[in-house]
Amino acid sequence: LDGQHVLMIGAGGAARGVLTELIHCAPASITIMNRTRSRAEGLRDDFSAEGVMYVRAMNESGGPCYDLVINATSMSLKNEDLQLDAALFAANFIAYDMMYGPDKTQFVRWATAAGAATALDGLGMLVEQAAESFALWRGKRPETKRVIDQIRKSL
């Protein structure tokens, strides 16, 4: 992520959980976008000692073209459309939805239609977190690709 522009959509617990790691990856910028601007500002302020972040409202235009967009909202669970302007995103941007389900999430479908080079859901993150936990307790990290494939088939 070094030198990339990152857009985090959402300002709740999921966004909070990944911000420190994002900051340590040294992106050119991190922008938090939220329906409630004051909540995004609060999250930014909570992490201000770790790095500079920007805030924007959902309907704001302008700013950098984002290379990576992360959906940390519950909108995918509700099958809601984020209605984002595709002009906000760089050519071949990467989209990541922290939610997952049996079908592609609304966000993944939107990102694919908007020209994302890669659009992923959060199933991999769930399995990788479980593998890390298992490794901490058992001293051996399980292989995850087969697990992800098996879960994907059973959803």
pLDDT of residue 101: 84
pLDDT of residue 6: 95
Q: What angle separates helix 37-46 from helix 13-24, to the nearest 10 degrees?
A: 50
* Contact (Cβ atoms closer than 8 angstroms) between residue 98 and residue 70: yes
pLDDT of residue 15: 94
- Distance between CA atoms of residues 19 and 9, nearest Å: 12
pLDDT of residue 40: 93
**Under 8 Å CB-to-CB from 125, ≥6 apart: which residues?**
98
Query: 35: how many CB neighbours lie within 10 A of its CB?
Result: 15
Continuous segment of H or E residues that includes residue 54: strand 54-57
Here the tokens at position 65 are 């073209």
pLDDT of residue 144: 93
Domains and CATH numbers, the chain: 5-121 (3.40.50.720), 123-155 (no CATH)
Could you report the average pLDDT of every consecutive run of 10 residues in the chain (155 residues)?
A: 92 92 92 92 91 83 88 81 82 93 89 93 89 95 91 84
Q: Please give the model's pTM, rounded to 2 decimal places.
A: 0.87
pLDDT of residue 50: 85
pLDDT of residue 64: 83
